[in-house]
Homo-oligomer: A and B are copies of this chain.
Amino acid sequence: MSERDERGGAERLVVIGGDAAGMAAASQARRLRTPEELQIVAFERGHFTSYSACGIPYWVGGTVTGRDQLIARTAEEHRARDIGLRLRTEVTEIDVSGRRVRAHDLDSGETYWTSYDKLVIATGARPVRPDLPGIDADGVHGVQTLDDGQALIDSLARARGRRAVVVGAGYIGVEMAEALILRGFEVTVVDRGEEPMSTLDPDMGRLVRKAMTGLGITMVSGAGVTGVRTDGAGRVRAVVTSDAEYPADVVVLGIGVRPETTLARAAGLPLGARGGLLTDLAMRVRGHEDIWAGGDCVEVLNLVSGQEQYVPLGTHANKHGQVIGTNVGGGYATFPGVVGTAVSKVCDLEIARTGLREKDADRAGLRYEPVVIESTSRAGYYPGAAPMTVKMLAERDTGRLLGVQIIGGEGAGKRVDIAAVALTARMTAEQMTALDLGYAPPFSPVWDPVLVAARKAVAKVRANPSRPRVISH
């Protein structure tokens, strides 16, 4: 008897990937459709479902005490809601015309085809692992999945020394550097860029560098890694650049991630310039009526630049899953796009951004005025008032808000939300100056720092009107 016969008249939804996007889609579809109406099968190649990948650095650093705390919903909980979850089972092929996927049970070795009426691709991301000598050595770790996190923690425990090298100084690199400091390691961060956090403009990244150096982290900039030196047993000994060698008992790769779209590419599904799946606003893969995709394997529309962007973030993955599950379940929902908001921290320093950096604006053909202001997170006289720096980009002439970057102490980071909403609403800096934001001395100076930046941006936009070249007749 075929699988289709077994399930009677029910439609069958197959989900590839058991983390945020995939399981949010499955759960939402289940809320809308009974098992008699919709059978749901979800494949996950790892050991865990619905976990917070963003929490891994805090688990490694010991701030979060146990792995299970990062799991929002276990396999058992999903199964109790009639979601047929198959762990440790990797999908190895999508047969689009045959409406089926091939699954490989990693433990039994069994391989089989299973059919779908509707398919959700939520294959996530994979850490960039440059093809360098020694990169696969024992002691070199990516940190994308809970399994990766566990492997790193085990590796830290058996490391012979206390020297850690983090390659890359983006969000993951910076968070992992802090985590390793908390674990008592001496940390060196080797980064190709001139300043850490290339998601910020370099003038703001410089403030992050200063904070990291202040934590005792050795920052090596403008350094391309050429290889990893290993010992006779194949264990990492050092990270090698063209100029120097950095001894390492453990190495963490924080170079960033790429969409995991190997399956999608092989199946001929449409991919964007950054390798992510392209979807419509309902999160349906373009040109495919019954295939949806979401999470770290898709590209999303940036509402400010008007262009596709790759933004692997758990908060988007959850929203995608919600939208997909609603549509798969017969409802209607869309994901309009992102404005590029991200927030992070290194110890007490909060780091946030939304909208476009200078180079994003250049690339999008936008002309802008950048301003930077210094203020404090609370009224200057209130205890705990921490310095904060706000950079704002406003469009030339129109004054439309294009982006905000914030570096500062406690309470600085989430202020980026003010700008995120303003960007979504396409506000001008001038409109922002009148925003009625929460004010009381323990929370803000009487002019919120974001408004101070907006005022400065208004003045600069007005002071520098574009002068169209006069054409003589």
Q: Which of B334, B341, B418, B431 contacts A417 (CB 8 A)?
A: B418
How many chain A residues touch B (Cβ–Cβ < 8 Å)?
63
CB distance from A119 to the nearest CB of B (A): 24
Q: Which of A83-91, A200-208, A442-450 contacts B (4 or more CB under 8 A)?
A: A442-450
Q: Which of B54, B354, B436 contacts A339 (CB 8 A)?
A: B436
Cβ contacts under 8 Å, A413 to chain B: 438, 443
Given contacts A318-B447, A383-B63, A446-B20, contact A425 B421 (CB under 8 A): yes
Q: CA of A72 to CA of B422 in the docked complex: distance in angstroms?
A: 29
How would residues 407 to 419 of chain A score, 1 for a CB under 8 Å from any chain B CB and 0 otherwise?
0000101111110
Please determine whether A437 and B315 come into contact, CB atoms closer than 8 angstroms.
Answer: yes
A319 beta carbon closer than 8 Å to chain B: yes
Please determine whether A421 and B440 come into contact, CB atoms closer than 8 angstroms.
Answer: no
Cβ contacts under 8 Å, A247 to chain B: none
Q: Which of A40-48, A125-133, A342-350 contacts B (4 or more CB under 8 A)?
A: A342-350
Please determine whether A315 and B446 come into contact, CB atoms closer than 8 angstroms.
Answer: yes
A379 beta carbon closer than 8 Å to chain B: yes
CB distance from A28 to the nearest CB of B (A): 11
Please determine whether A343 and B438 come into contact, CB atoms closer than 8 angstroms.
Answer: yes
CB distance from A472 to the nearest CB of B (A): 33
How would residues 353 to 370 of chain A score, 1 for a CB under 8 Å from any chain B CB and 0 otherwise?
010000000000000000
A246 beta carbon closer than 8 Å to chain B: no
Closest B residue to A350 by beta carbon equals B443
A244 beta carbon closer than 8 Å to chain B: no
A291 beta carbon closer than 8 Å to chain B: no
Q: CA of A427 to CA of B422 in the docked complex: distance in angstroms?
A: 11
Please determine whether A315 and B52 come into contact, CB atoms closer than 8 angstroms.
Answer: no
How would residues 212 to 233 of chain A score, 1 for a CB under 8 Å from any chain B CB and 0 otherwise?
0000000000000000000000
A113 beta carbon closer than 8 Å to chain B: no
Given contacts A422-B421, A446-B20, A446-B314, contact A381 B437 (CB under 8 A): no
Q: CA of A22 to CA of B280 in the docked complex: distance in angstroms?
A: 54
Closest B residue to A55 by beta carbon equals B441
Please determine whether B438 and A417 come into contact, CB atoms closer than 8 angstroms.
Answer: yes
Closest B residue to A424 by beta carbon equals B435
Please determine whether B55 and A439 come into contact, CB atoms closer than 8 angstroms.
Answer: no
Q: CA of A313 to CA of B447 in the docked complex: distance in angstroms?
A: 12
CB distance from A389 to the nearest CB of B (A): 16
Closest B residue to A342 by beta carbon equals B438
How would residues 104 to 127 of chain A score, 1 for a CB under 8 Å from any chain B CB and 0 otherwise?
000000000000000000000000
